[in-house]
């Protein structure tokens, strides 16, 4: 990134009420919504005295904001929020039309099939190559959507493609566990339809998203390696003649396995030969629009010099992302849709104004407070002003260790606050989200308690250094751990137990401000009842003593 100089477009005026120079803490509670207080709300049921006191102790400095749907740039108000859109909005102060919407628009207008990306892809099948799709198979709308895959398969056929292979990653995280059977059934129908029209179209390999291919932030490259072996080499310990058979037999063999964690499998023909390894001159389209969990597999396809694992064979394919996933790395170099342009981020403004930043989380959320925060750019805004600190996450299922790295993150941020070396300390606590995704209510309560303890340490540090804090969240998750019937009652599974909710929720999220450095006449305004995550940015610029740029969504603050 290019650092702007002073007195440029990024220069900010001082705020008229709030002084500069107080250490500022910004905490993002990942997956922490404000929801109905019942026994499936892990926050409500947990012992979280610090976070609960933010609400009751200072009602004028606590409110909720919208974190889902069109308020954060998603296609519809039925779309739950997620980390990418949430951190993009909070980092850039604007409602950004997100990847899901851009793909929808391109499919609807037909521009999908007119761009450079599509032409590049087409050259592969025009010269006899197979078209492979890889990606998350669900309609969760967080990383991908099934209807977009279906449209692309039919679009490819209409554009002369005669051979399609689909490499599926089962979800169970953005959609209920067990729903993979439904999505595979739907996909098989669509493939059957294509076959009946003369296209040789089959599922070729797959596995659960948390075991195969979709690692993020280099937490565990072995996940990507398993995907490479199954999708590219056609090798996996489990081989089946259909994906439905794979899901059924793998579940029979291990009833504890779920959609998120299916081991890799390869589909073979009657002779036991894999039906769709990836070869030279094939085309591979990654159907995920969200970046974090497909950057590593994109590097494996694209980078000549690659040492994260032994690829064994590196086919010369035409690889395309649904979007370009990393604006700094220009990765991948070919893509179907230009990504949302996220410019004039808060980091650019703050660096131009000399603010020294410490950003910290554990691996699972590290890129959220850096990469997503900076508008999907992997570099720093300014190396001399910013320190990015990653606490390595454990590679386990997080209900086994629900405290995760909350204490370590809190300690690192506390030191940063007290050191006097930073003006702005930004952290993300992963627990409410990562443990919430396991669907394990008891573990999620413990997760919430660990976050509360971390927040206490940091609020105390702000007290002792005379600073200001803002505590908020990116979307709901641990605030509801039960799937619901239409009337709101918990849904029971076929054994009579409450069906766990593993996904995010549509709940609004809290925002709390305070600290000894905050002038006593500062409160939240009553005039922005529909405010959302993008309003947070102008608010924290104010809290750091700056007027916000006029292009940002308005600040939430008012003054007595």
Ligand X SMILES: O=C(O)[C@H](O)COP(=O)(O)O
Q: Which residues are catalytic?
A: 83
Residue choice 50, 82, 148, 286 for contact with ligand X (CB under 6 A) = 82
Confirm if 104 and 75 have CB atoms less than 8 A apart: yes
CA-to-CA dists, residue 111 to 106, 318, 372, 499, angstroms: 5, 20, 26, 41
Q: Among all residues, whose Cβ is closest to ligand X?
A: 83
CA angle, 481 then 485 then 486, to 5°: 125
Q: How far is the CB of 437 from ligand X (least distance, A)?
A: 6
Binding partner of 142, given Mn ion, ligand X, none, CB within 5-8 angstroms per partner class: ligand X
- On the 0-12 / 13-18 / 19+ scale of CB atoms within 10 A, 415 is middle
Main-chain phi, psi angles of 176, to 5 degrees: -60, 145
Residue choice 326, 423, 474, 553 for contact with Mn ion (CB under 5 A) = 474
DSSP for 420-456, please give it. Answer: SS-SEEEEEE-HHHHHHTTT-HHHHHHHHHHHHHHHH
As a whole number of angstroms, the distance between CA 34 and CA 100 comes to: 25
Q: How far is the CB of 499 from ligand X (least distance, A)?
A: 19
| Contact string 280-309 vs ligand X (x = CB under 6 A) | -------------x----------------
CA-to-CA dists, residue 308 to 211, 217, 543, angstroms: 17, 13, 42
Judged by beta carbon, residue 41 or residue 124, the one nearer Mn ion is: 41
469 closest CA partner among 458, 478, 484: 458
Residue choice 35, 41, 50, 83 for contact with Mn ion (CB under 5 A) = 83
| Contact string 380-419 vs Mn ion (x = CB under 5 A) | ----------------------------------------
**Residue bearing tokens 């980078």:** 303
Judged by beta carbon, residue 289 or residue 422, the one nearer Mn ion is: 289
* Residue 104 lies near ligand X (rule: CB under 6 A): no
Query: Residue 243: which H helix or E strand, with range?
Result: helix 243-253
Residue choice 104, 139, 225, 433 for contact with ligand X (CB under 6 A) = 433
Read off the tokens for 139. 């309609």
Confirm if 552 and 539 have CB atoms less than 8 A apart: no
Residue choice 31, 206, 367, 467 for contact with ligand X (CB under 6 A) = 31
Contact range with Mn ion by CB under 5 A, out of 200-208, 431-439, 486-494, 537-545: 431-439
Q: How far is the CB of 367 from Mn ion (least distance, A)?
A: 11
Confirm if 461 and 39 have CB atoms less than 8 A apart: no
Judged by beta carbon, residue 30 or residue 452, the one nearer Mn ion is: 30
250 closest CA partner among 181, 176, 192: 181
Other Cβ atoms within 10 Å of 111 Cβ, number: 14
Judged by beta carbon, residue 63 or residue 293, the one nearer ligand X is: 293
Q: How far is the CB of 394 from ligand X (least distance, A)?
A: 15
- On the 0-12 / 13-18 / 19+ scale of CB atoms within 10 A, 375 is buried
Judged by beta carbon, residue 79 or residue 433, the one nearer Mn ion is: 433
β-strand pairing of 357-362 with 424-429 = parallel
**Residue bearing tokens 């922005």:** 528
Q: What residues between 307 and 346 interact with ligand X by CB under 6 A?
A: none
Judged by beta carbon, residue 124 or residue 393, the one nearer ligand X is: 393
As a whole number of angstroms, the distance between CA 509 and CA 502 comes to: 18
Residues in a beta bridge with 388: 359
* Residue 370 lies near Mn ion (rule: CB under 5 A): no
| Contact string 437-476 vs ligand X (x = CB under 6 A) | x---------------------------------------
Q: Residues in contact with ligand X, total (CB under 6 A)?
A: 11
* Residue 83 lies near ligand X (rule: CB under 6 A): yes
Residue choice 15, 30, 424, 483 for contact with Mn ion (CB under 5 A) = 30
Q: What residues between 493 and 522 interact with Mn ion by CB under 5 A?
A: none
Read off the tokens for 49. 């005295």
Q: How far is the CB of 369 from ligand X (least distance, A)?
A: 12
Confirm if 131 and 282 have CB atoms less than 8 A apart: yes
- On the 0-12 / 13-18 / 19+ scale of CB atoms within 10 A, 335 is buried
Judged by beta carbon, residue 24 or residue 371, the one nearer ligand X is: 371
Q: How far is the CB of 143 from Mn ion (least distance, A)?
A: 11
As a whole number of angstroms, the distance between CA 395 and CA 414 comes to: 25
As a whole number of angstroms, the distance between CA 242 and CA 184 comes to: 10
Contact range with Mn ion by CB under 5 A, out of 228-236, 317-325, 469-477, 515-523: 469-477
* Residue 433 lies near Mn ion (rule: CB under 5 A): yes
* Residue 207 lies near ligand X (rule: CB under 6 A): no
Q: Among all residues, whose Cβ is closest to Mn ion?
A: 83
As a whole number of angstroms, the distance between CA 259 and CA 246 comes to: 12
Binding partner of 293, given Mn ion, ligand X, none, CB within 5-8 angstroms per partner class: ligand X
Binding partner of 362, given Mn ion, ligand X, none, CB within 5-8 angstroms per partner class: none
Q: How far is the CB of 40 from ligand X (least distance, A)?
A: 19
Q: What residues between 129 and 188 interact with ligand X by CB under 6 A?
A: 142-143, 173-174
As a whole number of angstroms, the distance between CA 509 and CA 550 comes to: 24
Q: How far is the CB of 140 from Mn ion (least distance, A)?
A: 11
What are the residues binding ligand X (CB under 6 A)?
Answer: 30-31, 82-83, 142-143, 173-174, 293, 433, 437
What are the residues binding Mn ion (CB under 5 A)?
Answer: 30, 83, 433, 474
């Amino acid at each position: 990134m290019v650092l702007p100089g002073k007195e440029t477009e990024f220069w900010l005026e001082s705020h008229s009420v709030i002084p500069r120079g107080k250490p500022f803490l910004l905490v993002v509670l990942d997956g922490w919504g404000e929801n109905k207080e019942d026994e499936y709300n892990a926050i409500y049921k947990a012992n979280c005295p610090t976070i609960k006191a933010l609400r009751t102790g200072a009602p004028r400095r606590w409110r909720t904001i919208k974190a889902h749907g069109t308020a954060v740039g998603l296609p519809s108000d039925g779309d739950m929020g997620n980390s990418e859109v949430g951190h993009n909005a909070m980092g850039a102060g604007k409602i950004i039309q997100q990847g899901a919407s851009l793909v929808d628009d391109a499919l609807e207008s037909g521009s999908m099939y007119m761009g450079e990306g599509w032409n590049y892809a087409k050259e592969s099948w025009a010269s006899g190559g197979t078209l492979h799709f890889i990606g998350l198979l669900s309609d969760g709308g967080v990383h991908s959507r099934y209807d977009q895959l279906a449209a692309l398969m039919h679009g490819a056929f209409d554009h002369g493609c005669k051979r399609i292979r689909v490499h599926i990653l089962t979800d169970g995280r953005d959609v209920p566990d067990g729903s993979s059977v439904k999505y595979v059934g739907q996909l098989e129908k669509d493939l059957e339809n294509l076959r009946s029209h003369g296209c040789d179209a089959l599922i070729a390999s797959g596995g659960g998203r948390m075991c195969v291919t979709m690692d993020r932030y280099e937490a565990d490259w072995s996940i990507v390696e398993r995907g490479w072996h199954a999708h590219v080499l056609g090798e996996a310990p489990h081989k089946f003649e259909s994906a439905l058979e794979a899901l059924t037999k793998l579940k029979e063999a291990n009833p504890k396995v779920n959609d998120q964690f299916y081991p890799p499998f390869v589909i073979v023909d009657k002779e036991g030969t894999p039906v769709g390894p990836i070869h030279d001159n094939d085309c591979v389209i990654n159907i995920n629009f969200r970046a974090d969990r497909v950057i590593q597999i994109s590097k494996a396809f694209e980078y000549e010099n690659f040492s994260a694992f032994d690829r064994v064979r590196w086919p010369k394919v035409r690889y395309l992302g649904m979007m370009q996933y990393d604006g700094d790395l220009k990765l991948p170099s070919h893509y179907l849709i230009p990504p949302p342009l996220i410019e004039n981020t808060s980091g650019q403004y703050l660096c131009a104004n000399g603010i020294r930043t410490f950003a910290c989380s554990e691996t699972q959320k590290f890129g959220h407070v850096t990469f997503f925060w900076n508008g999907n750019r992997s570099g720093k805004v300014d190396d001399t002003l910013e320190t990015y600190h990653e606490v390595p996450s454990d590679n386990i299922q997080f209900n086994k260790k629900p405290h995760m790295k909350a204490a370590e993150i809190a300690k690192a941020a506390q030191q940063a606050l007290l050191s006097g070396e930073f003006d702005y300390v930004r952290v993300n606590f992963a627990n409410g989200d990562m443990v919430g995704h396991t669907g394990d209510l008891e573990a999620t309560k413990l997760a919430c308690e660990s976050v509360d303890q971390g927040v206490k340490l940091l609020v105390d540090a702000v007290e002792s250094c005379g600073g200001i804090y803002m505590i908020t969240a990116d979307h709901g998750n641990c605030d509801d751990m039960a799937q619901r019937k239409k009337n709101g009652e918990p849904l029971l599974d076929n054994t009579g137990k409450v069906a766990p909710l593993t996904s995010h929720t549509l709940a609004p999220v809290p925002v709390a401000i305070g600290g000894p450095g905050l002038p006593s006449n500062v409160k939240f305004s009553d005039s922005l009842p529909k405010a959302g995550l993008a309003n947070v940015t102008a608010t924290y610029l104010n809290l750091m003593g700056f007027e916000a740029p006029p292009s940002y969504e308005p600040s939430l603050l008012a003054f007595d």
